Structure 1
Amino acid sequence: MSPRFLPRLRFRIKTWPRRALLLTDAPRPNCPECEGDGGIGYDYGDPETGEYAGTDWEPCTCWNENRRWVLLPLPRRPWRTPPGYSDEPPF
């Protein structure tokens, strides 16, 4: 494999449907097309008013956003009320 196509790996945390630690591909930082952002955003406007309506995202060829591997499932956080607090109204 040439150095151009080697993956640049980074760690991320996935939160849905279950928390997990992922190893993902990252965009090439010195890419001349996207300048390391991983894609190019195109703003567009509403055809009737001409006001800003959103941004379309076109991914760059320097990375694959679907290339990811689950390394470790993470435990769920316990969402409990802290001790000393009550859900009861004060009256």
Structure 2
Amino acid sequence: MSPRFLPRLRLRIKTWPRRALILTDTPRPDCPECEGEGAIGYDCCDYETGDYIDTDWEPCTCWDETRRWVLLPLPRRPWRTPPGYSAEPPF
């Protein structure tokens, strides 16, 4: 496999639907099309007035955002005070 097509992997934390540590691909930093951002932006405007509306993003071929692997599910954070603990002062 040539170095151009080797995946550039990094660790991330996924938060939905359940927290997990994932290994994911990243855009190629020296890509001449997207300049390492992973997508190419096109500005959209209103053709009648010429006003800026939004930016549309088209994915670049140097990156496949569907390439991700779950390495480790992470425990959920407790949102409530654990049983046996009190919020009352000790007097």
Q: After the TM superposition, list the runs of 4 or more consecutive aligned residues in structure 1 that deviate by more than 6 angstroms.
A: none
DSSP-derived class of the 1:16 partner: coil
| Whole-angstrom CA distance in 2 between matches of 1:70 and 1:59 | 22
Shift of 1:55: 1.6
TM-score, length-scaled by structure 1: 0.81
| Whole-angstrom CA distance in 2 between matches of 1:51 and 1:18 | 41
**What is the CA RMSD across the aligned residues, in angstroms?**
2.1
Q: Which amino acid aligns with 1:84?
A: A
Structure 2 residues without counterparts, runs of 5 or longer: none
Q: Could you tell me which residue of structure 2 aligns to residue 89 of structure 1?
A: none
Q: Could you tell me which residue of structure 2 aligns to residue 40 of structure 1?
A: 40
Structure 1 residues without counterparts, runs of 5 or longer: 86-91
Change (3 A) 1:71 1:49: same
Q: Could you tell me which residue of structure 2 aligns to residue 88 of structure 1?
A: none
| Whole-angstrom CA distance in 1 between matches of 2:52 and 2:20 | 36
TM-score, length-scaled by structure 2: 0.81
Q: Could you tell me which residue of structure 1 aligns to residue 25 of structure 2?
A: 25
Deviation per CA, 1:46-84, whole angstroms, max 9, x where unpaired?
455543322211111111011000000011011125x63
State how many pairs are aligned: 85
Q: Could you tell me which residue of structure 1 aligns to residue 87 of structure 2?
A: 84
